[in-house]
Copies of this chain bind each other. A is one copy, B any other.
Amino acid sequence: MAPTSAPTTLQLVQTNSLPALVQVEIEQLILSGELAAGERINESDLAMRFGTSRGPVREALRGLEESRLVRSEKNRGVFVRAVSIEEADEIYDVREALDQLIGQRAALRATPQQLRELEAALDEMDRATDVEDVKSYHALNLRFHDMLVDSAGNARLTESYRLLTKGLLLFRLRGLKDGGGLPVSNTEHKAVVAAIAAHDAARAGRLLRQHAAASRARMHKAASAART
């Protein structure tokens, strides 16, 4: 039997263990904001919600703790991590370095197929920009950067980058307006993809690092705007 390209729920349950499933489920809850930053997580509630006992939930939380999405206090429970802007800055320090590496490697190793997908993503983001659909743009933006790091062809780099940027998602502005930075952001994306298509490693690396820096600046701008 040929495996379906999109893995079925059945397959997921058969290959992944229950704690792993629960872990991604809780992760969704956190990243979607349903479990707010700083909030305390009740093990029993989650176990009920997923129809399991507390064991798998506890294992999942231990995994999430290791990936820094939650923090745990003995006998008090686990809390959704709250990422301050100072921490977000720290993350961006690292991210800029990794983004440069991603750009360099992608320019050398991206396949034509991957390049096509990147360009398709650019178009989609353009469309989202046209109708000022900030939410869609954010989702597409995440996917775009995921595709980028994948096209660098280094599994460890992908892991490190994903782990790092997950932390950034925890720093969410109340009402992420972004102040019209969307068209600028996608213009930067296009320059990066162009450099990758030209196999210009140095330029792609430099541009992607600059894009990260600009993204950080936009975060600061939005943060100070939200504070007033």
Contact = CB atoms under 8 A, between A and B. Distances in A.
Q: Taking chain A's interface residues, is the majority helix, strand, or loop, or is none over half, making it mixed?
A: helix
A102 B97 CA distance: 10
A87 interface: yes
A47 interface: no
B101 A157 contact: no
A83 B9 CA distance: 31
Contacts of A68: 159
A184 interface: no
Interface in A124-162: 154-157, 159-160
Copy total for this chain: 2
Contacts of A101: 93-94, 97
A4 interface: no
A91 B15 contact: no
A67 interface: yes
Interface string A35-62: 0000000000000000000010011101
Interface residues of A, number: 38
Interface string A79-102: 000000001001101100110110
Contacts of A16: 74
Contact of A163 (B72, B90, B160): B160
A65 interface: yes
Interface of A: 14-17, 19-20, 55, 58-60, 62-68, 72, 74, 87, 90-91, 93-94, 97-98, 100-101, 105, 154-157, 159-160, 163-164, 167
Given A94-B98, A94-B156, 18 more contacts: A14-B74, A15-B74, A16-B74, A58-B59, A62-B63, A62-B66, A63-B65, A66-B66, A68-B159, A90-B156, A91-B156, A93-B105, A93-B154, A94-B157, A97-B98, A97-B100, A156-B167, A160-B163
15 contacts: A16-B74, A58-B59, A59-B59, A62-B62, A62-B63, A63-B63, A63-B65, A63-B66, A66-B67, A93-B101, A93-B157, A94-B101, A97-B100, A98-B98, A156-B164
